[in-house]
Amino acid sequence: MTKPLLQIIIGSTRPGRAGGAVAEWFADRAREDDRFEIEVVDLAEVGLPLMDEPHHPRLRDYQHEHTKAWSATIERADAYVFVIPEYNYALNAATKNAIDYLSTEWARKALGIVSYGGISGGLRAAQMLKQVGSALKMATLPDTVIIPMIGALRDKDGRFVATPIIEDSATILLDQLDEMTAALQPLRDGLLAAKS
């Protein structure tokens, strides 16, 4: 049986960001867990401009090649983990912009979050992302991997070094992703059957 595809989406596009190191750590954890096929999607590489489609995303009448490519990328996944920073008590613009390009591609899929930042660990950004996910009919998972004081958790080479509590949080998130992805599969299968 084919394993479901989990996309780990790096939300920050800022040079010098911590998100790449955090996503690499979580991707390694998910590969070791071995319940998902893993694909890391870096919004800095995707390079979406500020939303420039003339039609509402629910119509899927995309005019630009970058949107069509983004749609195809997101469509193939069964679940997502967004690795996001918190900027000014909020979700960062690159993440929100990438989400807003699409609509139905996100639906009926599990949404997990790994957030990082200062003392709050990106919790406010995570809460905002959960609201956005709910609006797009995603199954937002209750627990979030929260990484406070990210600067103190990187080694001299810039790699992220998780604490035992953060490691335990990752295990819980992977368990929830597995459970919710399996529960949502019949809904996604029904949607595909209705389209064909």
Q: Strand 90-91 and strand 79-87: pairing?
A: antiparallel
As a whole number of angstroms, the distance between CA 150 and CA 146 comes to 10
Question: Which residue, among 146, 163, 145, has the nearest Cα to 154 in the 3D structure?
Answer: 163
* Pair of tokens at residue 194: 């209705």
Query: At residue 192, does pLDDT exceed 80?
Result: no
* pLDDT confidence tier of residue 196, bands split at 50, 70 and 90: low
pLDDT tens sequence across 38-61: 999 999 999 999 999 999 999 999
* pLDDT confidence tier of residue 189, bands split at 50, 70 and 90: confident
Average pLDDT estimate for 136-146: 96
Average pLDDT estimate for 129-158: 96
Q: At what angle do helices 164-195 and 19-33 cross, to 10 degrees?
A: 80
Number of other CB atoms surrounding residue 83 within 10 Å: 32
* Pair of tokens at residue 29: 């954890």
92 neighbors 11 (Cβ within 8 angstroms)? yes
Which segments of the chain does DSSP mark as H helices, in order? 19-33, 43-46, 65-75, 93-100, 123-135, 164-195
As a whole number of angstroms, the distance between CA 124 and CA 90 comes to 6
As a whole number of angstroms, the distance between CA 170 and CA 99 comes to 23
- What one-character DSSP code corresponds to residue 10? E
79 neighbors 110 (Cβ within 8 angstroms)? yes
Question: Which residue, among 20, 38, 19, 18, has the nearest Cα to 28 in the 3D structure?
Answer: 38
Query: What's the pLDDT score for residue 188?
Result: 82
What is the count of structural domains for the chain?
1
Q: What is the CATH number of the domain that holds 115?
A: 3.40.50.360
- Domain assignment of residue 12, given as a range: 5-195
Query: What's the pLDDT score for residue 81?
Result: 98
Name the 3-class secondary structure at 151: helix
pLDDT tens sequence across 81-132: 999 999 999 999 999 999 999 999 999 999 999 999 999 999 999 999 999 9
As a whole number of angstroms, the distance between CA 3 and CA 191 comes to 19
